[in-house]
């Protein structure tokens, strides 16, 4: 903030709120934020009923937690951010001078244009700038304690995926498989409770496996079809995502060929994933390898992970793609996701990993290739 | 749209996308929208990889589905909404004349200030106005088929809550209870698959039951403490939310007293919930009843329900509160949620209901008062 001469930063991303203050609740469907002044402690602003909950989870003294009245919720004529910005000015948390330089998370989920215009209306004296995901970028290098949480999440992810693969059986409804997945996600293990994932289990199957991000239906799984499974293990909001593909019955050769090429590509990407490399290097290691099999992938092959809240477990910072020049450092964590979406069929496999001085440490250990159930 | 002289409407709320086109995927973490011109069919815009999935779920011909390239994702220097607005202009879906009058969902989740500014940059010739949740308001009255889906959601909610109450046992970890809840939510019933809820199970317990919206931990449930459970049954995105409170061991008198007063208040509110009443009337029926016991509740006591996507299962239209003057009609659906959050303890109970010409039809049938497990 000092480097950018910011007087204050208004943070709305729930993952950033959790990172900065420990605040953790399903309250992000109404406006809330943490205001970080250039000097002095953070203040949290939320709906009145949630301000009470914040006392239990945020590492903030009660006088730094402010609740706006309930009549501001879902009103056409007023907006909670009028109240929030007004109150922050009143208590001197935001400067009222014309040199005020205030950063906002302009592309965060749960920060609406109306919220932005309300803040702008209250802060006409100030210059408002985009934070460009400042807090997200600070989160990129994980502390020892954060790394431990990611490893715990990995343990849960591994168990969840083992159960998911076991449950892919001809005739079983997709929703029945998801029931077992969600059960395992919450259960965690005997010593580690599971937390909710930022994304529900995704289970494109048969013809829909040619596309990502479909959830599930109550139709039965069929012999002759492949199912891609994308889940995460989560511990205290830290995510280890994981994807695999299961074929019921003898898979077509094209699927086996793609799976083998992608396994080789994953090995090449992981080998390249070490301090000093860039996302571009890692992407190239993968692209070059699958290129030898005549394959290419249009989309990015991975992104930074850590704390996640719905709707995304990515950190919204680094992507593994040709345009990414940020140098990889120890303490970063990534989800490398290799989704090959073809016309009416597809293949997905992924690994979550922590970068150490030695290279890529996998957070899970599940056989990587296509699982075939004859 | 004609009444408001709109040339076009840009819709971003995932529930509105589903309502208008059937599009259903976990793709709302990157920008997407449906553009509704004043005359002519809708077009869907999403990330390239999701445009393929849209072919499977949206009732739109392939040429009305447009995918933006993956390099636009999470970039500081360009935004998907630049591409979307530019393409929509190019194909004549948005008018390029100076009398263009285009409505945006200015307070929707997943529509960021950067997205708004990108659209504004492309549409400098047009006047941009707030849609004021136009599609949400259209959704308020449910068709016969929608009512059937809500009843199915209610069947699932009832089963989920029965299991949840059964699972509240001293010594059990909170996450173990949630595992059973999530299992039941996905399973649905033998004939009705469960879908994911817009909000994960919320389980404030002990001292934290004095606040809503806390999720769960891996700490064990304790005798002498009360737990509030808030869940939903979901069928094909239609939600029937439900809340109950379970006391382990003999509850304190204050909890019993509040529970009894609130049950009476619920009965009064449901009695008042009929065509011709307003949200104000229903609120007053409740407030007057609990007022006789010296109680009051600051926040709204309910809201309109139907289709839901994370992070909210409310429709963001009507609220049951003193300021609500919209007249209630048959075909509307509401979640009446009576959360009494006290200092270090609390009580919650709720009902989901459909308004018919006869009055309020409950979507579930679970005993309403405090459940005590001695």
Three-state DSSP string of chain B: CCCCCCCEEEECCHHHHHHHHCCCCCCCCCCCEEEEECCCCCEEEEEHHHHHHHHHHCCCCHHHEEEECHHHCCCCCCCHHHHHHHHHHHCCCCCCCCCCEEEECCCCCCCCHHHHHHHHHHCCCCEEEECCCHHHHHCCCCCHHHHHHHHHHHHHHHHHHHHHHHHCCCCCEHHHHHHHHHHHHHHCCCCCCCCCCCCCCECCEHHHHHCCCCCCCCCECCCCCEEEEEEEEEECCEEEEEEEEEEECCCCHHHHHHHHHHHHHHHHHHHHCCCCCEHHHHHHHHHHHHHCCCCCCCCCCEEEEEEEECCEEEEEEEECCCCCCCECCCCCEEEEEEEEECCCCEEEEEEEEEEECCEEEECCCCCCCCEEEC
Pairing state of beta strands B371-373 and B238-248? parallel
How big is chain B, counted in residues?
A: 374
Question: B182 and A179 in contact by Cβ < 8 A?
Answer: yes
Question: B179 and A175 in contact by Cβ < 8 A?
Answer: no
Residue A75 φ/ψ, nearest 5 degrees: -120, 140
B113 vs A111, A319, A341: nearest CB: A111
If you average pLDDT over residues B150-160, what whole number do you get? 98
Statement: residue A225 has pLDDT above 90: yes
Q: What pLDDT score does B342 carry?
A: 87
Helix (H) or strand (E) holding A110: none
Residue in A with minimal Cα distance to B78: A107
Local confidence band at A56 (pLDDT 50, 70, 90 cut-offs) = confident
Q: What pLDDT score does A355 carry?
A: 98
Under 8 Å between Cβ of A70 and A49: yes
Q: Please give the Cα distance from B40 to B43 (Å, whole number).
A: 10
Positive or negative, the CA dihedral B96, B101, B102, B107 is positive
Q: Please give the Cα distance from A328 to B272 (Å, whole number).
A: 62
Q: What pLDDT score does B97 carry?
A: 95
B312 vs A29, A79, A316: nearest CB: A29
* 3-class SS of residue A373: strand
Pairing state of beta strands A33-37 and A43-47? antiparallel
Q: Which of B11, B52, B185 to mutate to test the interface with A (most CBs of A within 10 A)?
A: B52
Question: B311 and A207 in contact by Cβ < 8 A?
Answer: no
- What are the pLDDT digits (tens) for B15-52? 999 999 999 999 999 999 999 999 999 999 999 999 98
The shortest C-alpha distance from B199 to chain A (Å) reads 8
- Please list every residue in chain B whose beta carbon sits closer than 8 Å to the beta carbon of residue A57: 214
Q: Chain A to chain B, count of Cβ pairs less than 8 Å apart? A: 246
The shortest C-alpha distance from A289 to chain B (Å) reads 21
Nearest Cα to B61, choosing from B49, B37, B44? B44
Question: A112 and B115 in contact by Cβ < 8 A?
Answer: no
- The share of chain A scoring above pLDDT 70, in percent, equals 100
> Which two tokens mark B239?
């939600």
Instruction: Say how many C-beta atoms besides its own lie within 10 A of residue B59's C-beta.
Output: 10
Q: What pLDDT score does B210 carry?
A: 84
Positive or negative, the CA dihedral B262, B263, B266, B268 is negative
Question: A24 and B311 in contact by Cβ < 8 A?
Answer: no
Helix (H) or strand (E) holding A44: strand A43-47
A49 vs B55, B114, B299: nearest CB: B299
Pairing state of beta strands B346-356 and B359-362? antiparallel
A74 vs B49, B173, B316: nearest CB: B316
- Please list every residue in chain A whose beta carbon sits closer than 8 Å to the beta carbon of residue B215: 24-26, 195-196
Least confident interval from A127-141, A144-158, B103-117, B336-350: B336-350
* 3-class SS of residue A5: coil
B28 vs A74, A115, A311: nearest CB: A311
- Domains of chain B, by residue range, sit at 8-138, 144-373
Local confidence band at A189 (pLDDT 50, 70, 90 cut-offs) = confident
Q: Which of A167, A201, A211 to mutate to test the interface with B (most CBs of B within 10 A)?
A: A211
Q: What pLDDT score does A280 carry?
A: 97
Q: Please give the Cα distance from B70 to B166 (Å, whole number).
A: 47
> Which two tokens mark B106?
């200015």
- Please list every residue in chain A whose beta carbon sits closer than 8 Å to the beta carbon of residue B298: 48-49, 69-70
Kindly report the CATH number that applies to the domain delimited by A8-138: 3.40.350.10
Q: Please give the Cα distance from B352 to B161 (Å, whole number).
A: 13
Cα–Cα separations (whole angstroms), residue A212 to A173, A178, B51: 19, 16, 10
Residue A80 makes CB contacts below 8 A (sequence gap 6+) with: A30, A31, A47, A68, A72, A73, A115, A118
> Which two tokens mark B15?
């529930």
Pairing state of beta strands A127-130 and A226-235? unpaired
Query: Which residues sit opposite B360 in a β-bridge?
Result: B355
Instruction: Say how many C-beta atoms besides its own lie within 10 A of residue A154's C-beta.
Output: 28
Statement: residue A328 has pLDDT above 90: yes
Question: A214 and B113 in contact by Cβ < 8 A?
Answer: no
Under 8 Å between Cβ of B24 and B73: no
Q: Which fold has domain A144-373?
A: Creatine Amidinohydrolase (3.90.230)
How big is chain A, counted in residues?
A: 374
- Please list every residue in chain A whose beta carbon sits closer than 8 Å to the beta carbon of residue B312: 29
Q: Is B192 left (phi over 0), alpha (psi -120 to 50) or beta?
A: beta
Statement: residue B161 has pLDDT above 90: yes
Question: A179 and B202 in contact by Cβ < 8 A?
Answer: no
Residue in A with minimal Cα distance to B301: A70
- What are the pLDDT digits (tens) for A166-176? 999 999 999 99
- Please list every residue in chain A whose beta carbon sits closer than 8 Å to the beta carbon of residue B317: 74
The shortest C-alpha distance from A267 to chain B (Å) reads 24
Q: What pLDDT score does B52 carry?
A: 83
- The share of chain A scoring above pLDDT 90, in percent, equals 92
Instruction: Say how many C-beta atoms besides its own lie within 10 A of residue A291's C-beta.
Output: 14
Q: Looking up tokens 């109450």, which residue turns up?
A: B165
Local confidence band at B55 (pLDDT 50, 70, 90 cut-offs) = confident
A112 vs B107, B117, B187: nearest CB: B107
Q: What pLDDT score does A208 carry?
A: 84
- Please list every residue in chain B whose beta carbon sits closer than 8 Å to the beta carbon of residue A211: 25, 49-50, 52-53, 55-56
Nearest Cα to B85, choosing from B114, B110, B109? B114
Under 8 Å between Cβ of A102 and A126: yes
Q: Which of A51, A57, A182 to mutate to test the interface with B (most CBs of B within 10 A)?
A: A182
- Please list every residue in chain A whose beta carbon sits closer than 8 Å to the beta carbon of residue B62: none
Statement: residue A190 has pLDDT above 90: no
B53 vs A188, A213, A321: nearest CB: A213
If you average pLDDT over residues B103-130, what whole number do you get? 97
Task: Please report how many Cα atoms fall inside a 13 Å half-sphere around the Cα of residue B202, on the Cβ side.
Answer: 29
B105-114: string of b/e by CB count within 10 Å (b at 16+)?
A: bbbbbbbbbb
Question: A312 and B29 in contact by Cβ < 8 A?
Answer: yes
* 3-class SS of residue A301: coil
- What are the pLDDT digits (tens) for B180-219? 999 999 999 878 999 999 999 999 998 888 888 989 999 9
* 3-class SS of residue A118: helix
Q: How much is the mean pLDDT over chain B?
A: 96
Residue in B with minimal Cα distance to A57: B214
Q: What pLDDT score does B211 carry?
A: 84
Local confidence band at A295 (pLDDT 50, 70, 90 cut-offs) = very high
The shortest C-alpha distance from B148 to chain A (Å) reads 17
Question: B175 and A196 in contact by Cβ < 8 A?
Answer: no
Question: B186 and A204 in contact by Cβ < 8 A?
Answer: no
Nearest Cα to B130, choosing from A31, A113, A119? A113
- What are the pLDDT digits (tens) for B293-341? 999 998 899 999 999 999 999 999 999 999 999 999 999 999 999 999 8
Helices B174-187 and B144-167 sit at what angle, rounded to 10 degrees?
A: 150
Helix (H) or strand (E) holding A281: helix A279-291
Question: B71 and A174 in contact by Cβ < 8 A?
Answer: no
Statement: residue B281 has pLDDT above 90: yes
Query: Which residues sit opposite B120 in a β-bridge?
Result: none
Under 8 Å between Cβ of A275 and A357: yes
Local confidence band at B160 (pLDDT 50, 70, 90 cut-offs) = very high
Question: A183 and B183 in contact by Cβ < 8 A?
Answer: yes
Question: A48 and B339 in contact by Cβ < 8 A?
Answer: no
- What are the pLDDT digits (tens) for A239-260? 999 999 999 999 999 999 999 9
Task: Please report how many Cα atoms fall inside a 13 Å half-sphere around the Cα of residue A300, on the Cβ side.
Answer: 25
Q: Looking up tokens 């459970």, which residue turns up?
A: B229
Q: What pLDDT score does B189 carry?
A: 83
Residue A321 makes CB contacts below 8 A (sequence gap 6+) with: A279, A280, A283, A299, A300, A301, B70, B71
Helix (H) or strand (E) holding A239: strand A238-248
Q: Please give the Cα distance from B370 to B228 (Å, whole number).
A: 10
A299 vs B49, B193, B319: nearest CB: B49
Residue B321: alpha-carbon gap to chain centroid:
17
């Amino acid at each position: 903030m000092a480097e950018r001469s910011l007087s204050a930063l208004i943070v709305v991303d729930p993952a950033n709120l959790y990172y900065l203050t420990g605040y953790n609740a399903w309250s992000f469907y109404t406006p809330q934020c943490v205001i970080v002044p250039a000097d002095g402690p953070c203040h949290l602003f939320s709906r009145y009923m949630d301000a009470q909950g914040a006392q239990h989870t945020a590492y903030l003294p009660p006088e730094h937690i402010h609740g706006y009245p309930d009549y501001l919720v879902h009103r056409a004529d007023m907006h909670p951010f009028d109240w929030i910005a007004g109150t922050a000015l009143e208590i001197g948390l935001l400067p009222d001078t014309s040199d005020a330089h205030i950063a906002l998370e302009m592309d965060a989920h749960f920060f609406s244009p109306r919220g932005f215009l309300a803040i702008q209306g209250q802060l006409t004296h100030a210059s408002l700038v985009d934070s460009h995901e400042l807090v997200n970028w600070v989160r990129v290098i994980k502390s020892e304690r954060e790394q431990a949480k990611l490893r715990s999440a990995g343990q849960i992810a591994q168990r969840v995926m083992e159960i998911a693969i076991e449950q892919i059986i001809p005739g079983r409804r997709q929703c029945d498989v998801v029931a077992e997945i969600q059960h395992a996600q919450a259960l965690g293990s005997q010593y580690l409770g599971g937390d909710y994932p930022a994304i529900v289990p995704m289970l494109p199957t048969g013809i829909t496996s040619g596309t990502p991000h479909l959830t599930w239906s109550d139709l039965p799984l069929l012999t002759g079809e492949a199912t891609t499974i994308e889940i995460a293990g989560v511990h205290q909001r830290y995510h280890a995502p994981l994807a695999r593909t299961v074929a019921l019955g003898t898979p077509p050769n094209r699927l086996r060929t793609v799976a083998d090429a992608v396994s080789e590509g994953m090995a090449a990407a992981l080998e390249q994933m070490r301090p000093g490399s860039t996302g571009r290097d890692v992407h190239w290691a993968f692209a070059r390898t699958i290129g030898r099999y005549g394959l290419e992938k249009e989309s990015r092959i991975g992104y930074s992970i850590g704390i996640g809240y719905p709707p995304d477990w990515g950190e919204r910072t680094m992507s593994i793609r040709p345009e990414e020049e940020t140098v990889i450092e120890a303490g970063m964590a990534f989800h490398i996701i290799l989704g090959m979406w073809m016309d009416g069929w597809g293949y997905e496999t992924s690994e979550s990993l922590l970068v150490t001085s030695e290279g890529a440490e996998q957070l899970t250990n599940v056989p990587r290739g296509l699982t075939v159930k004859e």
